[in-house]
Amino acid sequence: MTLKRTELLKAGVLAIGLSLVALTGSLAQAQTYPSRAVRMVVPFPPGTATDLAARMVGQQLSVALGQPFVVENKPGAGGSIAAMDVIRSAPDGHTVLFSSNSAISSNVALLKKIPYDPNTDFSPLAAIGDNMLVLMVKSNFPARNVQELVAYIKQRPGKVSAGYGSSSSQVSIAIFNKLAGVDALSVPYKGIPLAVNDVLGGTLDFTFVDIGNAMAQAKGGNMRALGVTSAKRNALVPDWPAISEVLPGFDITAWFAVVGPAGLPRDVVDKFNAAVKNALAQPELKDKLATIGLSPTPMTPEQLKAFISAEIVKWTRIVKDANIQPE
């Protein structure tokens, strides 16, 4: 055997050995994941639909995977602060972003200088579900339906204000203004509950609220629902009309998903995705999510990646059509 052939054989054996070590390490990582508590970063304050959903799902994942899933709220900049926290974290699956469409897709259209690219800076892990928003006013507000609200705003040009605490609620106000031909003033908040507080306090005239908080406020008699943002009425609140019944074409739906930093090992991605898919199939979790108006929409990581790309295109079009100027 020549020296050259011997060296080639040694190189081949070494390459195979390294491949086996890498494969063994990858399998071991998947088997031991998670090896410690998982930080689930939420880009909105406590009490928001995103926060509540994260805690419900996290509780199930803690049981399934044997480690605590700790929700950490980091609101601000439309979700960019939370997103960058996760993007800069170690790609090992122990820090993930549990977000609505705001940080994962809508920000591309709503921010002038978004500090990250959702298509490349995230590892899609699992889709959670979608829900709608509800146009809400204080219980003693003069307008009792969408038609009356439109007339109320037209009689007071530039004097009626609406608060938003997410990209979906921001776009909802803009679309409402455009389709109704009114000019309600948009006021930003770090979360929907903060906008709700100012509606109750009389600082704001109306806001768009996630359906879970909307049902709680309506049940308590504090606020009145004028319409839902989905194209059709929702079975949870069949008496609440769809805004589209008065303003044809109005259709805004929010969604939730979990992503990690780019470069997560495939085995960790698959294990996380399988755990979420199994959790969403449990009747107990499905019932809990229903209380906040969330309908589970499980996807594979590949399906979620394609969905996010499509949503970026969709929200860019919606924001443009609504004449929203990026901030």
Which of 22-36, 131-145, 166-180, 235-249 is predicted with the least confidence, judged by mean pLDDT? 22-36
Do 123 and 158 lie in one domain? The reply is no
Do 43 and 125 lie in one domain? The reply is yes
Of 228, 245, 262, the last residue of a domain is 245
The answer as to whether 273 is a domain residue is yes
Do 190 and 180 lie in one domain? The reply is yes
Q: Angle at Cα 246 formed by Cα 244 and Cα 252, nearest 5°?
A: 25
The residue-averaged pLDDT of 247-271 equals: 96
Question: Percentage of the chain with pLDDT > 70?
Answer: 91
In contact, 116 and 196? CB cutoff 8 Å: no
Whole domain around residue 177: which residue ranges?
132-245
Do 138 and 231 lie in one domain? The reply is yes
Q: Is the pLDDT of residue 66 over 50?
A: yes
Q: Is the pLDDT of residue 260 over 90?
A: yes
Q: Is the pLDDT of residue 20 over 70?
A: no
Of the candidates 39, 67, 65, the one whose C-alpha atom is nearest the C-alpha of residue 54 is 39
Kindly give the pairing relationship between strand 185-188 and strand 161-164: parallel
Q: What pLDDT is stored for residue 310 in this prediction?
A: 96
Do 74 and 162 lie in one domain? The reply is no
Name the residue with higher pLDDT: 271 or 131.
271
The residue-averaged pLDDT of 111-136 equals: 95
Q: What pLDDT is stored for residue 293 in this prediction?
A: 87
Q: What pLDDT is stored for residue 140 in this prediction?
A: 97
Number of structural domains (the chain) is 2
Q: Is the pLDDT of residue 195 over 80?
A: yes
Q: Is the pLDDT of residue 17 over 60?
A: no
Of 210, 245, 280, the last residue of a domain is 245
Buried/exposed code over 292-308 (b: 16+ C-beta within 10 A; e: otherwise):
bbbbbbbbbbeebbebb
Of the candidates 120, 100, 116, 91, the one whose C-alpha atom is nearest the C-alpha of residue 269 is 91
Angle between helices 3-32 and 266-280 (to 10 degrees): 30
Do 49 and 114 lie in one domain? The reply is yes
The residue-averaged pLDDT of 76-88 equals: 93
The residue-averaged pLDDT of 253-277 equals: 97
d(CA 284, CA 278): 12
Do 124 and 137 lie in one domain? The reply is no
Q: Is the pLDDT of residue 314 over 80?
A: yes
Of 222, 245, 268, the last residue of a domain is 245
* Cβ neighbours, 10 Å, residue 132: 29
